[in-house]
Structure formats: C-alpha cells, structure tokens
Amino acid sequence: MATSIRNTKMLLRRAFSVKRNETLARNLCFTRTLNANEDQDDSKKVVAEKKNKAELREAKQKEAKAKLNMLLESMSKTTSKAFPSESTLSLATPKIRAKPAKPVKRTAVNTKIEPEMLQAVEDVSNMLSKEKEASKNSLIAKLEAVADESERARLEPFKPNKQKTEDLNSLLNTLKVDGKKPKNKPPAPKLAPVKVEDIYGAQPSGIFSKAHFKEESSAVSGLATWDMLYERELELAVTHPPANGFQQMIRWTKQGKVWQFPIDNEQGLDEEAQVGFHEHVFLEPHLKPWCPRRGPVRHFMELVVVGLSKNPYLTVAQKKEHINWFRDFFEAKRSILIDTGAIPDITTKSSPSIST
C-alpha cells in the first residue's frame, strides 16, 4: 500500500518533469520558428550574411535536435529507474502458522451418478466379486452411460423409435398374465346393446316407486360469523365498491340519490305527488261501512279522522290502516261496548212502534 502511493508520487513527479522538458522543448522550437519569421520579415540583407545566418541556424537546429533527443533519452532513462521489489520499511507481518493437512481428495468425483449410487456400487462390488475394482468400474461405466442417454433424451425432443416400440409390443404380447384373481362372483351377464329411438316411449319401470331417499343432511357448521364473512367476501369479489369519493358520487348520481338543484323538498316522492289531497283529507267514507252514526265510538272516530286529515306525514295507505285497526279493535271489544252501552244492541232492539 505504501509502496503504491510512493510509486504514484514518483509517476506524478516524472510526469511533471516530462512536461517541463516538453515545454522546454516546445519553447525552443517556437522560439526558433519565431526568430526565423522575424528574420524573414526584416529588410533583405547581404547574401553572405544570409548564408552565415542560415548556417548558424542549421547548427542551432541541430543542437536543438540533439538536446531534444537527449531529453527524450533521459525521460526513458528516468522511467527505467529501478525500484526495490520489496519495501525497505519494517512493517508488521503475520505469523506463519502451519496449515492443517488437507484430506486427500477423490480423484474421480462423479457428477453424473449420485453419491448414494456410488456407495451402493462400492458395497455391491465388495460383497459379490473378487475383482472389486474391475466390477466397480464396469458398473460405474454402465451407470454413466445410462445417465448420458437420459440427459440426451431429456434435452432432445422425444421421437418414438419404431424398432423399440415393436420390440416392446412383441414383448408385451409374449407376457402371460397370471390368473391369481379369486373368482367369487360369476361374470355379469352381458346384454346386447339396445337401440333406443324414443326415450319416453316406454312405460315407467317403477323401480324407485318404493324408494326412501334420505334428505341431504346439511351439516350445521356452527360458525355463523365465518359463514357471514365468507358470503361478504363473495359479494365483495363480485361487486366493486367505490375506490374513492369521486366514484362514490358518480355512483350515487347514477342511482339518483343525489339532490337535484334547485332543491325540491318532495324530490323522490313521485308516487305521493300523484295522490290527490282529497284522499288525504276526506276520510269519512272509510268510516261509513262499519262505524255507527251516533255514540261515543262515532265521536272518537271522528276525532281520529280529523287528526289524520291534518297529518301530512302519513301516506293514504297508512291512514287507512290506522282506521282499519280501530275497526278491528272495536269489533274485538264489541261485547264490552255493548255492555257499557256505547254501541246500541241490535238483537234486543225492537222495531220502532208508535206506542213506545
């Protein structure tokens, strides 16, 4: 790590030095060219002077080139500076511990055959034959061959081998089935297949006329909450409750549950609107068939009717039902009413005569 850092530092320094050399070389070149240009721009001098100058220039150029070469060579020299391979610093080194001896690996690790199979092969060869190694190897070779074939077959698409199928078929045909089944029952009598044209043409056979079919015993689960929750789950699966307020409002608008503007207090009460006020107010015809014309009962019922006629909250049906209830009540308490004298007794009532 330290050496690497140092190496990089050295590299950087080298780079800078190279750069400096390069800049130096560049400056030299530029100055040369600039000077040359200046000389050309000046007024024409004597040819001899020019010649001398040219010679001088050439010499200088050569010098510069030589210098450049030198610098380049020095660069290469600096790059080939030898550094010690090992660091001169005395750093902490780990203790060299004797590694534990590794167990000798098996040379033949069979990936095709499972280790259990290998073990079995080993046991068999040890038990059976004298030439253990040879038998083991032959068995392994056979297993490997089988594994290879199965792999190939697995990878390739199945093509039925005609020869093999023929062999199999012949084999199966030659196989004899052992008749080991106990023949307790004689074979059922075979009926000839019946051709039926009209299914409902014949008379009913009456086989099931005396049959007593048990009712399907639906076992009471006893888990009422679970059943209820299950049904709820089913409903939720089928229906789609609204996911947000917008969907809810859309749904309600479609169902007509939302108030329409301008607000009408009787929105939704269309059937009631069709019923005329006369049915609400004039309820005396409902008393006519049963109520006596005079007496406390009539008095009471008149009060009831007046109250109902002023009631805007009940429907006509409800009002009728109210009156009918009283009719039934008074019918039930008829004896009491007669005893008290509320209702005139019809049976004892004699025909009106002039004498009385």
- What residue ranges bind other proteins (CB under 8 A)? 296-297, 299-300, 303-304, 318, 321-322, 325-326, 329, 333, 336-337, 339-342
Comparison of 151 and 321: residue with beta carbon closer to other proteins: 321
| Smallest separation (angstroms) from other proteins to the CB of 286 | 16
CB of 300 to other proteins, least distance (A): 5
Closest CA to 132 of 183, 157, 140, 302: 140
Nearest to 125 by CA among 139, 115, 111: 139
Cα distances from 345 to residues 289, 333, 341, in angstroms, run 17, 13, 8
* Cα-based torsion angle of the residue sequence 351, 354, 355, 356 in order, rounded to the nearest 10 degrees: 60
Nearer to other proteins, 149 or 339 (CB): 339
Nearer to other proteins, 161 or 318 (CB): 318
By beta-carbon proximity to other proteins, the closer residue of 7 and 324 is 324
Smallest separation (angstroms) from other proteins to the CB of 324: 11
Which residue, 140 or 291, has its beta carbon nearer to other proteins? 291
Of 25 and 300, the one with the shorter C-beta distance to other proteins is 300
Minimum distance from residue 318 beta carbon to other proteins (Å): 8
Q: How many residues can be counted in the chain?
A: 356
Smallest gap from Cβ 117 to other proteins, in A, equals 56
Q: Please give the Cα distance from 38 to 64 (Å, whole number).
A: 19
Rounded CA-CA distance 64/23 in Å is: 13
Min dist CB 229 to other proteins, Å, is 12
Which residue number, 276 or 296, has a Cβ lying nearer to other proteins?
296
Alpha-carbon dihedral 331, 337, 339, 343, rounded to 10 degrees: -100
DSSP 136-201: HHHHHHHHHHHHHHHHHHHHSPP---HHHHHHHHHHHHH------S---SPPPPPPPPP--S-TTS
- Distances in whole angstroms, Cα of residue 252 to Cα of each of 245, 255, 259: 10, 5, 10
In angstroms, what is the minimal distance from the CB of 301 to other proteins?
A: 10
